[in-house]
Amino acid sequence: MGIEKMKMPQLGESVTEGTISKWLVSPGDQVNKYDPIAEVNTDKVNAEVPSSFTGTIKELIAEEGDTLEVGEFICSIEVEGGGSAEEAPAQQDPVSDSAPQEEKTEAKKPVKKAEKGEGKVRFSPAVLRLSQEHDIDLDQVEGSGREGRITRKDLQKLIDSGNIPKAGDAKASAPAKEEPKQAPVVEAPAPAAAAPAKASAAPNVPVMPGDIEIPVTGIRKAIASNMLRSKHEAPHAWTMMEIDATNLVDYRSKIKGEFKQREGYNLTFFAFFVKAVAQALKEFPMINSMWAGDKIIQKKDINISIAVATDDALFVPVIKNADEKTIKGIAREITELAGKVRSGKLKSEDMQGGTFTVNNTGSFGSVQSMGIINYPQAAILQVESIVKRPVVMDNGMIAVRDMVNLCMSLDHRVLDGLVCGRFLQRVKEIIENISKENTSIY
């Protein structure tokens, strides 16, 4: 018999840490390889962590609510014929096998809080960000983590207590009194090339009798961080185009009943717009680009991010290679992805690789809006509500038509008004010419 240790896996691109939200096993439980053993929250997704071994759970090293960096140990498992904990198999290491050996060795070491004279102190990105947001001098903080490492829970307790150490103060430790557990704070990690900007102090908002205090959840914190970064870094410009969707409305009305009966899901207006956008992106590839500091990356694949909201959060799953899919295929993916979001089954890979975002703001009656770009993409398109309006026709007559506004926010570092105008004109042309003769659902 031997003991193997499970590590916090990397659950998405740029994810550096995860929070154990719920253990699905207890010490003494028998598990098979790939059995789920824990639920983990990150800034991008909620996911189940599978066991890497078949054996008996020996110890739960991390507790529910603990936030650990990728590669830190979360539990130990007793296995037949296994080695010691120090001899864990290479495939357990979350660092890619293609990485240099020096990087792998470094990734396996616990982050140790350096003492005076030991050299540069290493902290997790979340600890650095939280300390900068609240002006905390980390040299004055006593860590409760392994080998004195400062954890985000240490900083959160200091913030909650109001005992924030400044430069020159005596070392402070987190209050001994256990605070009531709150939802874990999860923040999107900033790329190494860009240091996080120091946030302004939180406003002092008086709480009056009858007011309701709502804790900021991890996903809401991540949304706030990403939106703030997008607005600070990307110079947003905005344009809107009015489209006559009467042909689309008539065509869909004629086929939606038969489609639902045949396929088992709805044929929505949104599927037509996503397909039109994907086709226009193929013809105007510059729109399908991202800002990368000293260069602009024009993406080959057309992966459409769609915004799906729940009561308290916003998720952006991705329709991969949307230009290669039919309207039926896009409608099915929209239905499946929205279902995953609302049932809590969305996976990390479902939200990766997006190159352009289309937001169905019309679903709740909006007729005009200005979206914040889904960083680091170059633009976002809001599809507004289709409404009947009187329109002056080419022959001078007034007719009631089904009209819709398309509102586009763009990163002016990457895109200019001319190419965006032509892109929207192409989407307009596709939508206005939808008909049984011109448009194939399948």
Strands (E), 273-424: 289-291, 296-298, 304-306, 308-309, 314-315, 318-319, 356-359, 379-383, 387-392, 398-411
Q: Do 241 and 155 share a structural domain?
A: no
Q: Which of 62, 91, 108 is where one domain is finished?
A: 108
What range does the domain containing 140 cover? 110-203+212-233
Model confidence band, residue 296 (pLDDT cutoffs 50, 70, 90): very high
Q: Do 226 and 122 share a structural domain?
A: yes
Among 17-21, 100-104, 337-341, 353-357, the range with the most confident prediction by mean pLDDT is 353-357
Q: Do 317 and 304 share a structural domain?
A: yes
Q: Which of 108, 141, 176 is where one domain is finished?
A: 108
**Which pair of tokens denotes residue 110?**
């616990």
Q: Do 415 and 278 share a structural domain?
A: yes
240 versus 187: the higher-pLDDT residue is: 240
109 versus 238: the higher-pLDDT residue is: 238
How far is it, in rounded angstroms, from Cα 400 to Cα 119?
Answer: 73
Q: Do 257 and 283 share a structural domain?
A: yes
Give the pLDDT confidence score for residue 408 in this predicted structure: 97
440 is a domain residue: no
Indicate whether 187 pLDDT > 60: no
Q: Do 427 and 378 share a structural domain?
A: yes
Cβ neighbours for 324, distance < 8 A, ≥ 6 positions apart = none
CATH of the domain at 14: 2.40.50.100
Q: Would you say the C-alpha torsion 352, 314, 156, 165 has a positive or negative sign?
A: positive
128 is a domain residue: yes
Give the pLDDT confidence score for residue 64 in this predicted structure: 86
Least confident segment among 11-25, 61-75, 312-326, 387-401: 11-25
Q: Do 164 and 54 share a structural domain?
A: no
**Which pair of tokens denotes residue 346?**
């969305």
437 is a domain residue: no
CATH of the domain at 419: 3.30.559.10
Query: What does the chain come to in residues?
Result: 442
441 is a domain residue: no
Give the pLDDT confidence score for residue 234 in this predicted structure: 92
pLDDT in tens, 33-74: 888 899 887 766 677 888 989 999 999 998 888 888 888 899
How far is it, in rounded angstroms, from Cα 315 to Cα 42?
Answer: 13
354 is a domain residue: yes
pLDDT in tens, 89-107: 333 333 333 333 433 334 3
Least confident segment among 169-178, 197-206, 429-438: 169-178
Q: Do 261 and 194 share a structural domain?
A: no
Q: Are 357 and 381 in contact (CB under 8 A)?
A: yes
Please give the mean pLDDT across all residues of the chain: 81
Q: Do 187 and 302 share a structural domain?
A: no
Q: Do 378 and 351 share a structural domain?
A: yes
251 is a domain residue: yes
pLDDT in tens, 325-343: 999 999 999 999 999 988 8
How far is it, in rounded angstroms, from Cα 169 to Cα 135?
Answer: 13
Q: Do 182 and 104 share a structural domain?
A: no
- Count of domains in the chain? 3
177 is a domain residue: yes
**Catalytic (active site) residue 416:** yes
261 versus 190: the higher-pLDDT residue is: 261
167 versus 45: the higher-pLDDT residue is: 45
374 is a domain residue: yes
Q: Which of 46, 73, 108 is where one domain is finished?
A: 108
Indicate whether 149 pLDDT > 80: no
Q: Do 224 and 168 share a structural domain?
A: yes
How far is it, in rounded angstroms, from Cα 52 to Cα 34?
Answer: 6
**Catalytic (active site) residue 412:** yes
